[in-house]
Chains A and B, each alone.
Chain A
Amino acid sequence: MASRHQLGEPVVVVAGVEKSFGSFKVLKDVGLIVRRGETVCIIGPSGSGKSTLLRCINGLVPISKGSITVAGREVNDPRLDKLSLRRDVGIVFQQYNLFPHKSALQNVMMAPIHVLKQDKAEVEERARRLLAKVGLSDKLASYPGELSGGQQQRVAIARSLAMNPKVMLFDEVTAALDPETKKEVLVTIQDLAAEGMTCILVTHEMGFAREVADHVYFTDGGLIVEHGPPAELFGAPREERTKAFLDKVL
C-alpha cells in the first residue's frame, strides 16, 4: 500500500521529545514526521513508550522537552487552544472507553453537539452515515454493554471521526479483541487509510502493519531504534534490536 496515494505536507511533526514520569524516562529524544494521507505504524515491545507518545500528540500527556506540532500548531504551547487541537486529532483507545450510559448513536453525536455546538439534525445524519460506514447501521440504538468488543471499537472509531479530525491515532485498538472481531476493526482502519485519512497506529499486529503502513517506526526503551517503509523494516532490518524483536513476534 505504500505510496499508493500522493502524500501531502507534514501534519504531525515530533522533534526531540522527552517525557518522564517522576525519575522514569519513558521517551528519550523521539522524533517522527507524518504527512497528510500517510499511515504510520509504531511497533515495539511493551513499555517502550508507544502509547505515551500517542497521548502526547493530542495533548493528553504533557511532554517534558522537545516539540510536537499538529497541523502547524505547537502542542506544548501553554496558550494552545486544546479544543482546536482535539478537533483535529481523534484517538481510539484499547479499552474503547465508550460512554456506557449512551446508545451507539448518542455516543457518536455527543461531542459534535456539545463541544462543536453543531446542529443536531445535521450531526445525527452524519452519525448515522459514520455508523453505517463502520458496518453498524443496525446497532444505532444499542448500548455499549450490548455490543461485542469489535462493535464497540468500531463505534469508538465512528465517534472520533464525527469530529472530522485531520489525524487519527489508534492505541493498540485490537489488543483486547479476539481474532474474529479483530479483523472487522482492522478492515475499518484499512478503509480509512485507503480513503486518505492520516493515521498513526500503535500496534502489535505485525501482519497488519506490514500491509497497511506507509512507514513503520520501531521503538524500544523510549527511543526510535529504526524506521523505514514496511518492506525494508520487516524484510531487512538493519538494527540488531529490531531483528531480535521481529524474530520473537513473527
Chain B
Amino acid sequence: MATRKVRYKKLSVKTPLPVLREDQIDPTEYESLTNESQIATGVEQAEENEYHLQAVLQGAGVAADKEIPVPPPEESTLSYDALYPQKFQQTCTYIRFSQTVEECIGCMYDMTEDDEAFLESYNKQRVALAQLSDDDFEKIMEVFEDTAYIKTPFAAVDQTVVAYDEMLHGLHDLDKSKIMPHAKEIYEFWKSRRQALGNRPLHPTLKYEMHQESDDMDPYVCFRRREVRLTRKTRQRDVQSAEKLKRLRKELEEGRQLVLASHSRELLKAEMLKTDRAIFEQRAQLKEHKIRLGIKTDDEDLINQKKRKAPDVPAVQRPPPPSQIRMPLRPDGRPTEADLAQLADRLAEKENELRADIEKKVQNHSDWNKAHVDLTRGPLSPVVGPRPDLSFRPAKTQYLMTPPASASSASLEEPMPMELDKPENHPPVFKFRGVAQDEKSMENPPVYRRRIGRLNRLWIDRRGLASPPGERSEEQSDQWKYDQSSDDEEDTPMYEVDPFDTRALKFRASVPLPPWMSRATVPNRQAALPLPPNMPPNLPPAQLAQLAQPPQQALPRPMSQGQPAL
C-alpha cells in the first residue's frame, strides 16, 4: 500500500462520507490520509516540538496517560474565613449585577503596614475619644491621593506636591468634626510617604502609556488605549454619496410636504365651496322667506361685498412674479393662473383706452382738416390716386399653338395614381393658359416695367402678378401632391406631376441641363438617359422617367405659388 501512489480525489467539505467502524473494513485495504503538509496544530511553531507536548501528542487518541507538568498550586495557610467572612446568599434567579469594582469597595485606600505603625503611634498620644479610626485614616488618605492624582498627574516626573490648602476642598465632603483635627498631621505623614516613594502614588499602580517611545518596549506598560480602527480608503466617496443621498432625501421630503400642503389646500377649497354653497342656499331661502313675509329691509345680508374686496387689493399690488421656472405657491392658496389672466386683462384694457384716445384724436384732426389737402404730411409718398403708373405696361403674351410633344406611350399610361386619388379634380393634361385667359385674370393683368439701372443693369419690375397665397386656384389644385410628407414612404418622395403641363414644360426648358445629362443628345431621351447615380437600375422606363425628374420638379412648386411662368 505504501507503494501504491494514487492521486486522491480532492475531498470537499460537502462530500458525503460513509462512516465505518474500524472492524467494518479490512485495515489492509485502506490507507489513512496523511496530508503532505503536517497537520497544523495551531500551537506556536516554536513550541510545537516541546518535549512534553510531543510526548502527549504521540499517543493522540489514546487514554491520556501522559500529562504536561505544570507548577502545582498549594493550599493557602492564611485563614480563609477571616479574610472572607461574608456569607453568600444564593439568589433564586440568575444574578443581574452592574456595579463596578470601585462601587463595591468604597474607600479605595487600603492601609499598609507602615500606615498601621504610624497610626498606632499617633493614637497613642491621644485620649481615646480623640483617636483616629482606621476607616477615617483611610478616608483622609484617599482624599489626599485622589487630589494629588487630579491636580498633579505627573507628580512622579515634576515632583510637585499638592499643598495642604488645596486638599481642604476634598476634605470638606467628609465628616468634619472627626476628620479635621487630624488632617494636618496626616497630611505631613502622607507627604513624607509620598516623597519616600519618589512622589508616586502610595498604592502601586499599573503602568499606563506615558511616553510613546519608551512605552512600546516596556513590558510593564499595559492596557493602552486602542486607537480608532483605520478608516476605509473609500471614505471620501462615501461621504460624497452620503451627502447626495441626504440632499435627495431632503428634496423628496420637500416634495412630499408640497403635495401634502396642496392636498390640504384643496380640501380647504372644497370646504370653502361647500360653505359658499350653503350660504347661498341659506340666502336663497332667506330671500324667499323675505318675499313671502314681505319683510323689506335693504338686502345687505344677501351679499357680502366686503369679503369680495379683500383678496382683490393684494392682487393688484403684487409685484410681477419673478422669472422662475417653478411657480411659487401663492400665500392665499389661489392658483397663479387666475392672477396672470387678470394682469393681461388689465394691460389689454389700458391698451384699448389708449387706442380709443388716439382714434378720437385722429378723428378730431381729420374733422378739423376737412376740405383741406395737406400735401406736407407725407411729402415723399406718392400721391394717392387711381392714376396708373405709365411706365408699367401690361404684358401681352401670345402663345403659339404647340402640338403635344411626341410623348411615349409609357408616359401617357402613367397617370395612374392621379386617377386613384382625385379623378374629378384632375386637371386636363393639356391646358393652354396663355391663350385662354379667364375673366378674373384679365381684370388686373400683370404689368411690367423695364428700366436700366446702374452699370447698365436691366431691371424688370412687375406688378399684379401675385395671387393671394391662401387662395387656391384651380391650376394649383394639384399642389397637394407635392405636399405629401415622406414619412409614409420609406424612400425618396415621388412627385407626381403632369409631364406635359405647359408651364412645367416651359420651365423645364429654361433650366439648363445638369452636367450628367448634358451628354445626352439623342432624341429619345428616356432610352438614352444615363442613370443618375443611386438609381435602381431595373425599374420600368416610366418610373425611371419619373424618377429622373425630381431635380427639376422640385422647383416649379414655389414658382407656381408666387408667379406664373413668363
Q: Please determine whether chains A and B interact with each other in the same assembly.
A: no
**Chain A residues in the interface with B (C-beta under 8 A):** none
Residues of B participating in the A interface, judged by any CB pair closer than 8 Å: none
